[in-house]
Amino acid sequence: MRTVVTLLAHTQIESVPPPDHPVRQGAGTLAENLIEYAGRVCYRSEARMGTQPAFISLRVREGHEDIIEHVRFVFRVEQQPLDEDVLLLANQPSVEYTRLAGEQWIFSLNARNIRDFWRQSHSPLARALVALAQPVLPTVYADIERQEEAGS
């Protein structure tokens, strides 16, 4: 089986909110800052943006996982022959897909979908999605990366 995954797009923040917006005051990537900001809106603690490196992973661990859903990714997936994991991915909540010619698909999904899919499948497709999303959201996938390294 051959699986080739390309990252086409992810949530853009750079050109959007005003220059003094707290989203820009975080210490992570802009996409991570958006997640931290969404979490801090809940606690009204935006003034502390960027002061706690573990903020996102702590929220995720305690089950406040909706905050990572605010970042979405668009991937092109080529797989031949087609494996069941593509169907599993297509059936995750909020996942959208377009079938292109042949065995090529466009998938759009959020950061949480990738975590859930990896947990369910551990397939080459799941690993490829994590590897491509990781530079955009290092803290969101740090625990998965550690487990992958321990397992391989």
Partner 1 sequence: MKVTLLGYIPVDDLPEPEKHGAATFLIEGISRTCSHQIVRHRLASFSQESQRYVSLDKGGWQAIIPPAVQQNEAADQAMHEMWRSLQGAYTSLRQAGIRKEDARFLLPNAAETRLVMSMGYRPLRHFFWLRIDKAAQWEVQDVARAMLRQVYPLAPGVFQDIWDAYDMAGADPAGSGIE
CA torsion, ordered 72, 74, 78, 81, to nearest 10 deg: 40
Is the distance from CB of 137 to CB of 129 less than 8 angstroms?
Answer: no
Stretch that binds partner 1, among 29-37, 48-56, 120-128, 136-144 (CB under 8 A): 29-37
- Give the per-residue contact string, 64-103, with partner 1 (x = CB under 8 A; - = no): --xx-xxxx-x-------------------x-xxx-x---
Tell me phi and psi for residue 99, to 5 degrees: -90, 120
Is the distance from CB of 11 to CB of 34 less than 8 angstroms?
Answer: yes
- Closer residue to partner 1, CB minimum distance, 34 or 128: 34
Is the distance from CB of 25 to CB of 49 less than 8 angstroms?
Answer: yes
Interface pick for partner 1 out of 26, 32, 38, 144 (rule CB under 8 A): 38
Size of the site for partner 1 (CB under 8 A): 35
- Work out how close the CB of 31 gets to partner 1 at its nearest, in angstroms, rounded to a whole number: 8
Interface pick for partner 1 out of 28, 39, 55, 60 (rule CB under 8 A): 39
Interface pick for partner 1 out of 25, 29, 57, 108 (rule CB under 8 A): 108
The alpha carbon of 86 is separated from its chain's Cα centroid by a whole number of angstroms, namely: 17
According to DSSP, the residues that pair with 100 across neighbouring strands are none
- Work out how close the CB of 79 gets to partner 1 at its nearest, in angstroms, rounded to a whole number: 18
16 binds partner 1 per the rule CB under 8 A: yes
Query: Which of helix, strand or coil describes residue 9?
Result: strand
d(CA 115, CA 79): 20
The residues that touch partner 1, with contacts defined as CB under 8 A, are 8-13, 16-18, 21, 23, 31, 34, 37-39, 41-44, 66-67, 69-72, 74, 94, 96-98, 100, 106, 108, 110
